[in-house]
Copies of this chain bind each other. A is one copy, B any other.
């Protein structure tokens, strides 16, 4: 019998007010034939996890009394890495020691253990398996626990909508220094796409520009340059020289930053919006729509992959391959280990509070 713990909420609200830790038991001695018991290795605090708790996110877990609460309560967390502890007699695809991630969102990953069935999980190679397969390196906890959202978002936005011609065509993105932005720069380079990353001006601008170019951004410009008419011809020059076109814009900011990147596209361009950090709406000059046949669409990895397991697996496999070869670097997280000195929900509350200054990962 395992005494497990999960972070739950029964009422929506600010995480600091509504999270609590619930203990519950998993009877690992009497598994039904299809059951799988896993223990958590790590799970991050994502913005969407926070929005789910606040009740302002359109996808959310069902409330349940299955954790033994008197009131129905919902588990927190959508991304996480687990290790298989034990499997039922009919489970053929997984065994103890395997690394898995949830197959679907709303699984509840802010917990110590979970009981599920084989189809609830997708296997990742654990470091021993990567080594046995002759790979240069295995996945880190952070790579495994954060593989489902940011790198998948970057890869799918770059490949699923517009065909960029390698060595020629360009994409432009704002939020170039964000986690997704860094993945997009790297993946762009791996796929041989030219890219322009827009970032905010800052005291150590040159340093960040160099870092992003090292990751793979072809050019890095500031929001001021993005909004400047005078700077436009410089960008047109880069694109012309490449013999390609700027076909795709990735927007996680909105407002005039979205207008700026939209204007850089050639005719028939597409902008995908996957975030709105400025809290300003996406703003598109009428003439871009009419005379440049510009299209503005949305991207939400959850919805895209909900009914497309094949695409999810294909994308995961590509990311895994790049992690194992060392060609793709993960966005670093601040890691905090659950060692029992604080209650589990207190760790995640701290994680939420600290998430403004960088991605937080709780390890077990």
Contact = CB atoms under 8 A, between A and B. Distances in A.
A298 B288 contact: yes
Q: A-side binding surface: helix, strand, loop or mixed?
A: mixed
A230 interface: no
Contacts of A238: none
Contacts of A254: 286
Given A259-B281, A284-B281, A284-B284, A300 B295 contact: no
A18 B299 CA distance: 48
A290 B300 contact: yes
Given A273-B289, A273-B290, A284 B296 contact: yes
A221 interface: no
A147 to B, nearest CB: 21
Contact of A286 (B282, B290, B295): B282
A207 B285 CA distance: 34
A294 B298 contact: yes
A17 interface: no
Interface in A245-284: 254, 259, 273-276, 281-284
A289 B293 contact: no
Given A288-B298, A298-B288, A293 B283 contact: no
A300 B299 CA distance: 25
Contact of A282 (B58, B283, B292, B299): B283
Contacts of A29: none
B295 A289 contact: no
A173 to B, nearest CB: 15
14 contacts: A259-B281, A273-B289, A276-B286, A281-B285, A282-B284, A282-B286, A282-B289, A282-B296, A283-B283, A289-B297, A290-B300, A292-B298, A293-B297, A293-B300
Interface of A: 58, 254, 259, 273-276, 281-300, 303
Please give me the 10 A-B residue pairs with the lowest Cβ-Cβ distance, nearest first.
A289-B298, A276-B286, A273-B289, A296-B296, A282-B284, A295-B297, A58-B291, A290-B298, A290-B300, A281-B283
